Structure 1
Amino acid sequence: MSEGKARGARRFAALLDWSGTTIGAPDQWPTALQVTWDLALACPLPMALFVGDDHVLLYNDAFAEQLGDRHPHAFGRPASEVVPEVWGGSHLGALFDATMADDRSFLDEGTELRASGDLADDTPILGHFLRTGSPVHDEDGRVIALLHIAVETSSSLDRARTVTGLATALAVAVTVDDVCKVVLRESVSAFGALSVGICLPSPGPGGWRMARRHRIEDLSPDEERLPLIWSEVPEDLADVVSRSLDHGEPYVSDGAELVAVPLRARSTDAAVVVFRESTPLPRDVVAVLSAFTDLVGEALGRAVAYDAERSTAELLQRTLLPPSLPQSDEISIAARYEPVSEGTVAGGDFYDSFFLPDGRLALVIGDVVGRGVMAATVMGQVRAAVRGAAMTDPRPESVMTSLDRVVWDLDALWPASMPLGSTRARPGMAFGGELFVTMLYGTVSPETGVVEVASAGHPVPVLLSGRAARDDGHPRVRLVDMAVGPPLGLSGHRPTHRQLLEVGDMLVIYTDGLIERRDETLDAGEERLLAALADVPPSSPRSVAQLVMEAMVPESGQEDDCAVLTVGRSPVGHRRAAIVVPPMPESVKAARDWAREQLDLWTVDEADQYTIVTGISELITNAVLHAGTESHLTLDLDTGVVAVTVADSGNRGEPLLTGGETMAVRGRGLSLVRAVSDAFGAHRTSAGTTVWFEVEVALADAGVDAGIGVGDRH
């Protein structure tokens, strides 16, 4: 600050050479002007006097702050010379002229002051102000000056806009995680915070857990989509949060560097904790708090109820699905299931795979029409019946015939008060003939690759051809040319189709929720699927299932449940190794050492080993910190790719750290794995969470270990 600024307006006025102005020295002014000037100097609000026809500008210390670098040179000069960019271009000069000429006062609330009179969107905005102007009269009643008060309201307006943005964002925030992300993002600007934390009840010793966001934190879209990382709240801060909730009002520390805002949701208590610079809390912030707490409390209560219902529905759905799928050296199988995006009900989509007594693998995918507990329960019964029928006679036509009888019985025995489809079912009719189940069932021989499959009203699979099949003239992607019979429960013939899976080939089997859209035909959905698979590089069944889901499910979410089952025939040289990792910090190093030993045996290049071991270290660390249960670490070498899978039985949806700085660990480990790998994915099952990644590798003895599949990568 310059010497003139430091002395203040009163001392600066005393030292000014008034002879250089058009209004003369203060002792020559009319009494009313002297009194008004003394009032302005003593007032803490930004006040200025515009004196005479030239509007000579005099102002107090608060107004000098608004002028910035124009002070002190602006003092005693005509306003048109001090702020020419707004005086002539906007209505400011004309307004002041009219006020003095007409001897009337004015009040402008929320005025947007731009750099010129042009109100185009690209005209720079200097700020938003609340402004008043009052004429000053001499002894004869003539207007000799205008007393002007200008209070900048830009920060208040920004906070008000933040509340509006908060309301808009919370309207589409469904889960607790969604609501908390919105609150953290909007609170940083609403309260001018260095960082903001949101606190929810925790089973930990402190009773509270907190997710935090810093003002300097710039998250990528991928990081924004990751679940929040929660840490236990220190005891002193937990006391502040509890005290604010007990009193039902915000807690503000002495220097206002800490503000705790209690939130009363319908079914849970929560709080927002604001970390600020040690400055007085602006009054408009206090005004914003009421609207803020009402909006967030309502949204959080709604989200808690939604999460509870959805967790129950998803648990039911996923418990009825297999926690893992069988694998062999010759056949690899993977699956993905995505529930419907809206609502909290379970669905009827299901998949399964299991070894038959003769060594073949059974493949099952199906869909019970409808949603809710009933559809999921029927789905579980049908899936169990498939296993029973297949163990007796695994031929597709035999299994389908057995399931017809199961569906007939379910249709007759299910309570009539719980219709599955439309409301047309009447008492005594049970499902009223509306129990509708589609299914695709088949078997695959690991030794020969022969698949025998039949469809009961279910979409036909897609075949991804490997290098050998393409060399024989087969297209990269095609629908399997097979007949489709009637759904289960309806009499009819369902022919068995015989298909040979060559080395490198893959079957993609799915439910209709993957391709159905309200605004298009099923044929159009099939074309979208074929186009998406044509762009998928040759890879493992796991990564293909992930990529298909990412490509086919819209960003807004799908309209129905969908499941994908991918089955690939592995090349010669497929290797697998697995260990169980205890939930202890020292397990991370043990897992790295074990992985290096396996990769050495497989002659994986040193640089690729480093990438793989780095990813393993991050995933095992996450499992130890977040899940708290033992993890199953699996390595697969298949088609020149090493696939790493870490499966735990914990809840990764709400990871909880003990101590440590949230900002330092927020999703960075998973982001690193995604960055260094060639494919990455994560999904939940009834058993817990599975995270995996793949790395294309170079082998010292590629011809032996990767077999003919190595060239299939290109």
Structure 2
Amino acid sequence: MVGSGAARPPAISTLPVQSAGAKGCAALVHAFDWSRTSLGPIDRWDSAVRASVDLLLESPVPMMFVGGPDCVVLYNDAYAEVLGGRHPAALGQPAAEAFGEAWDQPGMSDVIGQVFRTGQAVLEPESQVTLRPGGSEPAFYTRGHSVVRDSAGAIAGVLTVAAETTQVVHRLQSLGELTARLAGALTIDDVTRVVLTYAMASFDLDHCVLAVDDGSSYRFVRRIRGEMLDEADERLPPVWRRVAAVPDAPLVTAAESGRATFVSDGEPLRAVAQDRHERRIRSLAALPLRTASVRGALIMGFRRAHVWLPAERALLRAAAELIAQAAERARRFEAQHGTAQLLQRSMLPEHLPELDTFRIAARYDVGVDGNAAGGDFYDAFRLSDGRLAMVLGDVAGHDVRAAAVMGQVRAALRALALTDPAPPSVLAGLDRLVGSLGAESRNEEIFVTVVYGVLDPADGSVTLASAGHPPPVLRRAGLGGEPASAELVKVPPGAPLGLGGRWQTGSLTLEPGDTILMYSDGVVERRDRPLNEGLDALVAAAAGSASGDPRNMCSLATAAIEGTTDDDVAVLAVEHALAMSRAATMHVAAEPTGPSRVRQWMSNRLRDWQVPEPVIGAAILCTSELTTNALLHAGTPAQVHIDLNAERLLVSVADTGTRGSVIRARADALASRGRGLGLIEELSDSWGTDPTVRGSTVWFEVLLNRE
């Protein structure tokens, strides 16, 4: 028993009353009736026990004392915060009642009981304990348990000192999550988004910058506390800014020297501050990102003084090493991806034929694995007799080898069609080619499918043959007030190329307003769904389209089936227009006056064509946004093309830069970016992006009669 045989100690009033006032633990200990516990009245506690309690109540570190045969609990204010809702009811109660089920967790009754029995101190390096009832997240602690002996040397209780390490554990966990997310980052843009999100969330920063070398200068992306970002911002490419290699800039110093610097309090950005926010930064960590092919830096800052402790510095250095390696992988991927992309697109037609009453559009998207070289292809070209040859094919695989075979097949198809355009003859010649390629490479796994057709513009008749390819979709316009409809074209099935098959033809007629859509299997195939479900969804999407415009149909087809595909996607659409369309093109120099000149040109041209004023207003606003976007982000001249027919106005803006595809997304009114895309989506009836051999094209369509 605590205090048995001991001299009468001074009154408990000698224990400190902490600054928490009446609710502080010292005051509660003073007021508690300890005579009802196994510890006995406070005025009979042993002096050694009283000294331990005195130390406990004075300490700012979470500390707890348990004593007596039923382990009565006594603790200080810091430990009360650990207990949360269990305080103050836990004070003076047996541990089993004070902690409830938590007392039986590993690291509680078993460890404290061991110290009671053996008298040996125990250090738990790190353990997870849930003391707060209903707590949403577990807490982690490093705890030390030591015995408290009375004046006679007997064990009177156990003193526990707890240091919470939850933040450290969470940061280590977030470092693991950073590693996983960086593993899936393909480009420098991807790496930047992952890193900035990780840093701002894990360290609760006021300021974060990631910079990488760009020739003789550096480019960087910055995040600051309170910056309004929405889903569109997160999905669009980050906005990079350029900075010269100024020696005084912390990011340049870290990148050039390869040494990390830490400032706990001061004005580390004063010499290079670009705005008031940077002038207010007081503490800063500048970490180098250096590999064989990358120089850069990660900058993290606070508006308050912050001591960068050794453990935190080590964590940041480890994170910087991971980020640097991810940036190097991304840079290598971008170089290889650019070469593969140029190879792939150079094998596809740069321009499609222009006919008076037939409009043609195509689209090619790489698979989700990011590989830009694949075996899908499309083509459309005039024959010597004025007819139009159109083809869409798929070489199995999506790598450079598949792209090489695709290039050979496409070139051979053109040569065969210009000699004898009949579909059976063309497919028979291609069959011999694929068989020969397989024999030469001693690889019998070359698998090629093709759908090939010949269109006669005089009457809209189409003759088709298929070598193992999915059937095209035919959209009927539904003239005379009838709704549009769509169906799969009944083409006689034939064997894939290289198997020595025979092919028969099918025929159809494209009436004015009708559209035929050819596509690769990546459009309709999903791993977790049957093929028929994908085909049905594509047919339904075609029937529900607001118009049969070929560019709109291509965009619609690539988004008709939910889910992602690992395969490449190629689409070709041909529409029999209701009437000849009027078109005009303007080349815009990469200079600030470009958008205003486009607005003036479009206004004059559309009014000359007697386009309704509401359509003119919407079209000019959307075109101005797209032109500005092209000139700003691509940094190259742009080409604006307008095409008007009886149904709709189609506008496209093309550039020759490498900014990648624009992501379809809505933006809130207060979003920092993305408002232009939201505007286009609101004002147009459909819109999309098409990659080209050199650059990309963004287009939108406005129907003339929206009713």
TM-score if structure 1 supplies the norm length? 0.77
What pairs with 1:624-663 in structure 2 (closer than 5 Å)?
624-638=631-645, 640-653=647-660
CA contact (8 A) 1:583 1:630 kept: yes
* Paired AA for residue 76 in structure 2: Y
Q: Write the distance in 2 (CA, Å) between the matches of 1:596 and 1:180.
A: 40
CA contact (8 A) 2:432 2:500 kept: no
**Identity level (%):** 35
* Paired AA for residue 129 in structure 2: E
Task: Give the Å deviation of 1:506.
Answer: 0.7
User: Is residue 130 of structure 2 the alignment partner of residue 113 of structure 1?
Assistant: yes
Counterparts in 2 of 1:236 and 1:654: CA distance versus 1, 3 Å: farther
Counterparts in 2 of 1:432 and 1:624: CA distance versus 1, 3 Å: closer
Task: Give the Å deviation of 1:683.
Answer: 3.0
The answer for the alignment partner of 1:464 in structure 2 is: 475
User: Is residue 677 of structure 2 the alignment partner of residue 670 of structure 1?
Assistant: yes
What pairs with 1:203-352 in structure 2 (closer than 5 Å)?
203=215, 207-214=217-224, 216=226, 221=231, 223-233=233-243, 239-255=249-265, 257-265=283-291, 267-278=293-304, 279-281=306-308, 284-342=311-369, 344=371, 346-352=373-379
The answer for the alignment partner of 1:415 in structure 2 is: none
What pairs with 1:368-383 in structure 2 (closer than 5 Å)?
368-370=395-397, 372-383=399-410
The answer for the alignment partner of 1:197 in structure 2 is: 209
Q: Which secondary structure state, in structure 2, belongs to the residue aligned with residue 583 of structure 1?
A: coil
Counterparts in 2 of 1:293 and 1:46: CA distance versus 1, 3 Å: same
- Residue range with higher mean Cα deviation, 545-554 or 530-539: 530-539
Q: Write the distance in 2 (CA, Å) between the matches of 1:581 and 1:19.
A: 83
Counterparts in 2 of 1:607 and 1:519: CA distance versus 1, 3 Å: closer
CA contact (8 A) 2:548 2:575 kept: no
Cα displacement string for residues 504-556 of structure 1 (whole angstroms, at most 9, x for unaligned residues): 2110112344345677776665445435544544342112211211234742x
Q: Write the distance in 2 (CA, Å) between the matches of 1:490 and 1:113.
A: 67
Gaps in structure 2 of 5+ consecutive residues? 1-15, 35-39, 266-281, 663-669
Task: Give the Å deviation of 1:587.
Answer: 0.7
Q: Write the distance in 2 (CA, Å) between the matches of 1:647 and 1:34.
A: 82
Counterparts in 2 of 1:377 and 1:14: CA distance versus 1, 3 Å: closer
Cα displacement string for residues 342-393 of structure 1 (whole angstroms, at most 9, x for unaligned residues): 3747223221223445554332322345554454334334434444555566
RMSD, matched Cα: 4.5
The answer for the alignment partner of 1:660 in structure 2 is: none
* Paired AA for residue 439 in structure 1: V
The answer for the alignment partner of 2:143 in structure 1 is: 131
* Paired AA for residue 168 in structure 1: A
The answer for the alignment partner of 2:557 in structure 1 is: 548
CA contact (8 A) 2:64 2:79 kept: yes
Aligned length: 657
Counterparts in 2 of 1:84 and 1:610: CA distance versus 1, 3 Å: farther
Counterparts in 2 of 1:468 and 1:243: CA distance versus 1, 3 Å: same
What pairs with 1:211-610 in structure 2 (closer than 5 Å)?
211-214=221-224, 216=226, 221=231, 223-233=233-243, 239-255=249-265, 257-265=283-291, 267-278=293-304, 279-281=306-308, 284-342=311-369, 344=371, 346-356=373-383, 359-370=386-397, 372-391=399-418, 395-397=421-423, 401=425, 408=432, 425=439, 429-430=440-441, 437-446=448-457, 448-468=459-479, 476-484=485-493, 494-516=503-525, 526-527=535-536, 529-552=538-561, 554-555=563-564, 557-558=565-566, 560-572=567-579, 574-610=581-617
The answer for the alignment partner of 1:706 in structure 2 is: none
Task: Give the Å deviation of 1:245.
Answer: 4.0
Gaps in structure 1 of 5+ consecutive residues? 117-121, 413-419, 656-662, 699-709
Q: Which secondary structure state, in structure 2, belongs to the residue aligned with residue 155 of structure 1?
A: helix
* Paired AA for residue 454 in structure 2: T
Cα displacement string for residues 588-621 of structure 1 (whole angstroms, at most 9, x for unaligned residues): 1221222233343444444444433332222111
Q: Write the distance in 1 (CA, Å) between the matches of 2:28 and 2:344.
A: 85
The answer for the alignment partner of 2:172 in structure 1 is: 160
Task: Give the Å deviation of 1:193.
Answer: 1.9
Match of 2:48 among 32, 36, 45: 32
* Paired AA for residue 273 in structure 1: I
Counterparts in 2 of 1:484 and 1:96: CA distance versus 1, 3 Å: closer
Counterparts in 2 of 1:378 and 1:51: CA distance versus 1, 3 Å: closer
Counterparts in 2 of 1:135 and 1:42: CA distance versus 1, 3 Å: same
Q: Which secondary structure state, in structure 2, belongs to the residue aligned with residue 322 of structure 1?
A: coil
Counterparts in 2 of 1:140 and 1:532: CA distance versus 1, 3 Å: same
Q: Write the distance in 2 (CA, Å) between the matches of 1:56 and 1:382.
A: 83
* Paired AA for residue 677 in structure 1: S
Q: Write the distance in 1 (CA, Å) between the matches of 2:243 and 2:98.
A: 51
Cα displacement string for residues 229-281 of structure 1 (whole angstroms, at most 9, x for unaligned residues): 32224655984234334554432223373222333446423433223342223
Q: Which secondary structure state, in structure 2, belongs to the residue aligned with residue 652 of structure 1?
A: coil
Q: Write the distance in 2 (CA, Å) between the matches of 1:462 and 1:334.
A: 15
Q: Write the distance in 2 (CA, Å) between the matches of 1:243 and 1:630.
A: 36
Q: Write the distance in 1 (CA, Å) between the matches of 2:600 and 2:542.
A: 37
Q: Which secondary structure state, in structure 1, belongs to the residue aligned with residue 341 of structure 2?
A: helix
- Residue range with higher mean Cα deviation, 24-33 or 353-362: 24-33
Task: Give the Å deviation of 1:66.
Answer: 6.0
CA contact (8 A) 2:219 2:243 kept: yes
Counterparts in 2 of 1:371 and 1:94: CA distance versus 1, 3 Å: closer
CA contact (8 A) 2:470 2:520 kept: yes
* Paired AA for residue 478 in structure 1: E
User: Is residue 178 of structure 2 the alignment partner of residue 178 of structure 1?
Assistant: no
CA contact (8 A) 2:147 2:157 kept: yes
* Paired AA for residue 243 in structure 1: T
* Paired AA for residue 320 in structure 1: M
Q: Write the distance in 2 (CA, Å) between the matches of 1:450 and 1:405.
A: 24
Task: Give the Å deviation of 1:155.
Answer: 1.3
- Residue range with higher mean Cα deviation, 624-633 or 153-162: 153-162
Task: Give the Å deviation of 1:463.
Answer: 0.6
Q: Write the distance in 2 (CA, Å) between the matches of 1:14 and 1:525.
A: 68
Cα displacement string for residues 561-593 of structure 1 (whole angstroms, at most 9, x for unaligned residues): 331101112223633332111111211122122
Q: Which secondary structure state, in structure 1, belongs to the residue aligned with residue 171 of structure 2?
A: helix
Counterparts in 2 of 1:26 and 1:380: CA distance versus 1, 3 Å: same
Q: Write the distance in 1 (CA, Å) between the matches of 2:606 and 2:312.
A: 58
CA contact (8 A) 1:331 1:446 kept: yes
* Paired AA for residue 159 in structure 1: R
Q: Write the distance in 1 (CA, Å) between the matches of 2:200 and 2:621.
A: 34
Cα displacement string for residues 3-32 of structure 1 (whole angstroms, at most 9, x for unaligned residues): xx9985799999969864558999997553
Q: Which secondary structure state, in structure 2, belongs to the residue aligned with residue 468 of structure 1?
A: coil
Cα displacement string for residues 61-97 of structure 1 (whole angstroms, at most 9, x for unaligned residues): x6687689999xx6xx972589999634531896798
Q: Write the distance in 2 (CA, Å) between the matches of 1:133 and 1:100.
A: 7
Q: Write the distance in 2 (CA, Å) between the matches of 1:562 and 1:16.
A: 74
Q: Write the distance in 1 (CA, Å) between the matches of 2:26 and 2:329.
A: 64
Counterparts in 2 of 1:682 and 1:402: CA distance versus 1, 3 Å: closer
CA contact (8 A) 2:345 2:693 kept: yes
TM-score if structure 2 supplies the norm length? 0.78
